[in-house]
Structure 1
Amino acid sequence: MKTHLRRGGLLAAVVACVALVGAGTAAAAPGDGSAFGLSVDVKLLGADAVKAGPFAAASTKGPTQNTFAGVNLPGVLTSGVINTEAKRDDNSGQVDAKASTADVGLPLLKAALGNVGAKAIEATCVATQKGVTGSSTLAGANLGSLGSVPVTPAANTKLEVKLPVIGNVATVILNEQINNTKDGSLTVNALHVKLLGGGLAGAIGSGDVIISSATCGPAGLPVPLASGAGMWIGFGLLGAIAVPVGIRVTRNRRSSASAAA
């Protein structure tokens, strides 16, 4: 009888260890998030190619926060302070990312639009168990001859930049939102300038300028098993497994008692 009890206790301990190890594996790391302030990759007419950034990159993998004093790319872009952040909540699985760029100027569009700039351009995204959402804010933004723009533009607002006779030379996308189908994440670019290049459209140049970008999700698994509510779920699982062990030991006791009688 003692042997049966010892074996039963040992089996329960082994089951507990296996359950906990398995639970740790199932509670995978929450979803990732990232953000950056500026990224430039352009070739302007009659000038050398300019490729710079991403500036002030942040990620849930670290650094989770970043700051850059400012950017000055003559003839292309100027900015003030850039602040970024990307974080996740291991208990809920929620992912948050944000990028904010102050005092933005876009001299690359001056020939077509005049003075273009904004006091602050920000992109944010949030991933929860319900899904991933994002938004953009453009404070004090002015696109020259295109006029002012809404502080919170609708997703994927596109504005064509035209030159007389030549026609479209660039596209400005406000609150660009890209659903990444491969991993279920969402990328929000607060402002994306696409220089069309080629033919007459190359009157300005070719390439891309992205200002304030945030990527989120999808959200990770909520509440790791080793803590909080997950711990009680784990104990419930262990209890469900341990009950048959206890029943078997009890039955063995009764069998032994019958034999002795």
Structure 2
Amino acid sequence: MDRPESEILIRVTKEPGGIAVVTINRPKSLNSLTREMMVDLAHAFKSLDADDSVRVAILTGSGRAFCSGVDLTAAESVFKGDVKDPETDPVIQMERFLKPIIGAINGFAVTAGFELALACDVLVAARGAKFMDTHARFGIFPSWGLSQKLSRIIGANKAREVSLTSMPLTAEVAERLGFVNHVVEEGQTLTKAREIADAMIKNEKDMVLRIKSVINDGLKLDLGHALALEKERAHAYYRGMTKEQFKKMQEFIAGRGSKKPSSKL
């Protein structure tokens, strides 16, 4: 027997056109994560990655928070068992996810919630949303990448301030620092996320995946090796193209030349 929607703590909705919305659905607890929810979230992304009908995933939270972190009432079982198995680690599964992930941050993204946001490719945040790293406050050691990823995005000095003080990073400041892509009015995060997803879906499916991959893989390398990686993958791609693919690409480019450029996202 199916559970009522309100009892599904990780809700997955597939929409027409290739968008899947993954919702952390525990609003009364500000979407704090239990171990079961972590496992379900990891399985949701693994399943969506294998689903050819899904082109883009949107991750959001229900109610007034995106995710307030780990449920500290069950902290021991979570921290001693969450990071050893990649199959049940939601951040690892998000990092392995080949398709774009858009985070729709509708409220607080705290500690583990902050780390889930960092695992997204594009972030849309509501005015009033806040990102907080409370690892130092509660004596929790980061294990989902916050200590390494944040400094690479907003700079080491600002990242140290955020993590060592546990002070909030507002959506507006996060946008100025390049961490958040768009700040929108409250209640509009999913609308903007779908707009961005639709723009991605209009592009060539295989190339979207390839470009996401080379950007994310290149970020793990120094610039010289990252440039070499791009060149290597480009050569491999063009070597594999057929004459029909080249002709289709030329026709597409010629057709685009007669159209007005689309508005910026």
Which TM-score bucket, shorter chain as reference? Answer: under 0.3
**Which structure has more RCO (C-alpha within 8 Å, separation ≥ 6)?**
1
TM-score by length of 1: 0.27
Q: Which of the two has higher C-alpha Rg? A: 1
